[in-house]
Each structure stands twice: as C-alpha cells, then as structure tokens.
Structure 1
C-alpha cells in the first residue's frame, strides 16, 4: 500500500496521533475501494481478479479523477 498508493519516501502528514490514525484509515479504505473495483471489473468481464494489476488500476483511477477535493486533507 505504501509503495503504490502514497509513493516511496512519503510519510504521513499528520502530527497529531488522532489525525495519523485518520490518514491511515483513509489509505486502507482507498486500498479496499480499489480492490473492490478490480473484483467488480473482473466479474463483469468474466476473468480472474488476480489477472488485473493493482498498480495499473491505481494509474487508471488517478487519470480518471479530474477534480481534487475542495478541502485540504
């Protein structure tokens, strides 16, 4: 998760423990959402979900998102 979602060498931005937990949960939920997307796409096309690359899915989703959140994380 750290390698593919956040990028190498990046650390948590939160300085307060509660916010660090929140940032970790957000990363875990993002990972879960991407895995759910992979399973849904694989089921719809009739292929094995293990044949879909996680990093490829991350890149596709990042290209698809055109509007960033209107608030600072």
Structure 2
C-alpha cells in the first residue's frame, strides 16, 4: 500500500514510463510547445480531436518509446499527462 502522497504504479506499467513522461513535460512545458507551434506557423485554425500540443507530445513520446506501437505510446502519454494534470478529459 502506498504512503500518503505516493502513487501506486498499476500492473504492467513501469515506473520509468512515468518518469519519462515527467521529464518530457518538464523539459517541454506547454507554454514552450505552444510558442514553437506559433513560430512554426502551425497554430490551429479549428479545434480538432488532437490539439497541436498533444501531437507534439505524442511525436516526442514516439521518439522515447521507438520500440512500442502507436497505441502503447498513446496509452503511456495520456496516462502520464493525466497523472500530472496536464491532460483533462477522457
């Protein structure tokens, strides 16, 4: 049983996966990602299912987990972002 303030890692999930997502979002905070998207001239003109910021995080996550499939990378990314309150919604 985890102590107060600790998070229990679910079955099949590695602690290193959560750490990698933490490092990813710490090194590339949402404000930086948004600035890069704006400077590249790729600001969203419409709201889509995957916002540009999430696509950038997904691309970076695919580099971290190059041996995993898209679905597993997406699962790791969304799970990590939800844990760190950087992703809201289902």
TM (norm. structure 1) is 0.35
Q: Which has the higher helix share?
A: 1
- For CA contacts below 8 A with separation 6 or more, give which structure has more relative contact order: 2
Q: Structure 2 length as normaliser, TM-score?
A: 0.31
